Chain A
Amino acid sequence: MSRFHSNCPQCAGPIAFQWSSAVQTTCPHCRSILVRRDVDLERVGRVADLPPDSSPVQIATEGVFRRQAFVVVGRILYEYAQGGWNEWHLVFQDGASGWLSDAQASYAVSFLRQASATPPAASTLERGQQLTFDGHSYEVTALTRARYAGVEGELPFEYWDKEEVLFADLLSRDARFATIDYSDEPPLLFLGEAVEFEDLALKNLRRFEGW
């Protein structure tokens, strides 16, 4: 795979993309947020210091999902009234992009679904509502208004100018889950499943004092 190499327009440090389709990344040297414009990188801002968080996953963590190896190339950290969670951006061996969410060490892997049926508008959505995607039935279990607490690494979208977003969490009767992200129009639908930590065979994790 030919990787995209460039230099940071701010500090001239080398930038190597892990994932050819990345739209946005952060400079590991000066923490600039960089967005790809054709072959150039445009600096659109600077990441604030990420608040301390306790996910054992980090950029460059490797793992396996459904026999496909992946590497963590980016993340979005969300915060809401009941705490925070990470969406780790995964790039699989075959170039596919996915997400590993870590909410208080409860893990799920999901993929962006080019919606065959557009999810209902946020205003019409309510808890307990049943929705069907790809032949599976889901129940809306939570509506969460979250704040972007930080971004890091390579992402498939431009997230730098976003502040708050409404999420709908949906669970199924067979351990599948879905998330609708209302930050975009039309809203983004992610479908996935809860996973056990040990099933991901994660390598290159963070270490915790005493653990």
Chain B
Amino acid sequence: MQEPNVPTSQVKALACPNCGGAVSLRGFGHTLNVVCVNCLSILDAKSPDLQLLQTFQERQRVFPLIPLGTRGKLHGDVYEVIGFQVREIMVNLVQYAWQEYLLFNSFKGFRYLTHYDGHWNDVKPIQGVPDPSRQGQKPAARWLGETYVHFQTADAETVFVMGEFPWQVRVGETVRTADYIAPPRVLSSETTDGEVTWSLGEYMTGEHVWRAFGMAGSPPAAHGVYANQPSPHEGKTGRAWLKAVWMLAALFSLMLLSSLWMGRQEAFRQKYSFSGSASEPSLVTPVFELKGRPSNVEILIHTDLNNEWAYFHLALIHESSGHALDFGREISYYHGRDSDGNWTEGRRGERVLVPTVAAGRYYLRVEPEMNVARAMSYELRVRRDVPVNLFFWIAAVLVVLPPVFVTLRGRQFESARWMESDYASSGSGDDEEEA
């Protein structure tokens, strides 16, 4: 019974009953319908004389990007392009057409490549019925432990066919399609006359397809974000935040260490009183010594102002050279009670930080100013080598910027993806689910 015959992929001398053109078959006995390459009539491949099933003339010929008969390698197996169809859906009065390439391997069977605007999917039918479920507000489907979120349901019309098919194809036929996504995968159902078939696709780049099928030139550029296109930001967000957390921890340790290491010596401390009516408002402090390496100097003023203001003209003067560094601070402190309760405004103290002062002997010249009828007492303190945390805070902000940026980019990508779905209008309401 084991015939030694080896099936051939070319059926001899078959002629199209419509135009007489030669018809070749690549799908062995699996082919049910074949389309004449010459006149695009759909023929019954099972009938000996290729009975005419449908003449096809209303539309312009579409040329597949990967020609029929091209062989390529997917998942380690050789596949041959034997069929090609264009299907179309209408969403908000806009037509979207995509291409489907039927691939055949005489041992492994059939799979498809779909193509839309530079985006490709490697699709295989599945033997099973995914479990209907929900993900947040959206319907979902569960298959083999993975949840696929509903993306779009539409009626797809076959508008162009070429080559061979192991099922009945007709131009003008419509099926209901539904896509559920778990990037980079997409679970799709097709319903015809109540019969549902499911397939599982995985996103492929044009470059990958071109390599797999040894295509010359470059694939069409991908535009926009496709339903199940993997996000280039996926996983990066978490990694970026983790990195930022480590860097912040390092920064704060450094901050702690530096504050322990800083000298923070008090060089001078003295209390004074002042009255607005004083004839000689300015005073000079005793000379004090600033020691060690060039470092910062902090001057603290603390007053007993009460519903009052004062202005301090200050100068840090180097004793021997007389070189002076001038600065000023306004201090005001008000408080009271109104219908909202107690309130305060301003503070009783101020702080001046002078960066990088060389060691040496210095004194301060102080010239306060205030309402003539008032008086105050105040304390002056001079400290050397105080920790400056501002730089650490700037560094911390810089560390946090990249993950914030990555997070925003990821959000942007996801919202671009869902813009093309049935849920486009609900917009940002989906954020908490995708995060």
Which chain A residues have a beta carbon within 8 Å of chain B's beta carbons? 26, 28, 51-54, 56, 58-60, 82-84, 104-106, 108, 127-128, 139, 141-142, 152-153, 171-177, 194, 197-198, 205-211
Contacts and interface: CB of A to CB of B under 8 A. Distances in A.
A106 B195 contact: no
A105 B110 contact: yes
Contacts, number: 99
Given A60-B2, A209-B7, A172 B128 contact: yes
Interface of B: 1-2, 6-9, 27-30, 32, 46, 78, 105-110, 125-131, 142-144, 166-168, 194-196
A171 B189 CA distance: 14
B28 A54 contact: yes
Q: How would you classify the secondary structure of chain B's contact residues: helix, strand, loop or mixed?
A: loop
Contacts of B78: 211
A146 B370 CA distance: 107
A173 B195 contact: no
- Of listed A52, A141, A176, A210, residue having the most chain B CB within 10 A: A210
Nearest to B132: A173
Contacts of B2: 58-60
B110 A82 contact: no
A152 B3 CA distance: 12
Of A51, A105, A139, A177, chain B has the most CB atoms within 10 Å of the CB of A105
A208 B131 CA distance: 38
A153 B166 contact: no
Contacts of A209: 6-9
Contacts of B46: 83
A106 B109 contact: yes
A139 to B, nearest CB: 5
A208 B7 contact: yes
Given A53-B29, A108-B127, A194-B127, A174 B144 contact: yes
A207 B205 CA distance: 33
Contacts of B108: 105, 197-198
Contacts of B142: 173
A87 to B, nearest CB: 16
Residue from the set B27, B105, B129, B131 with the largest chain A CB neighbour count within 10 Å: B129
Nearest to A128: B194
Nearest to B76: A198
Contacts of B105: 105, 211
B1 A26 contact: yes
Nearest to A194: B127
B29 A210 contact: no
A185 to B, nearest CB: 27
B139 to A, nearest CB: 16
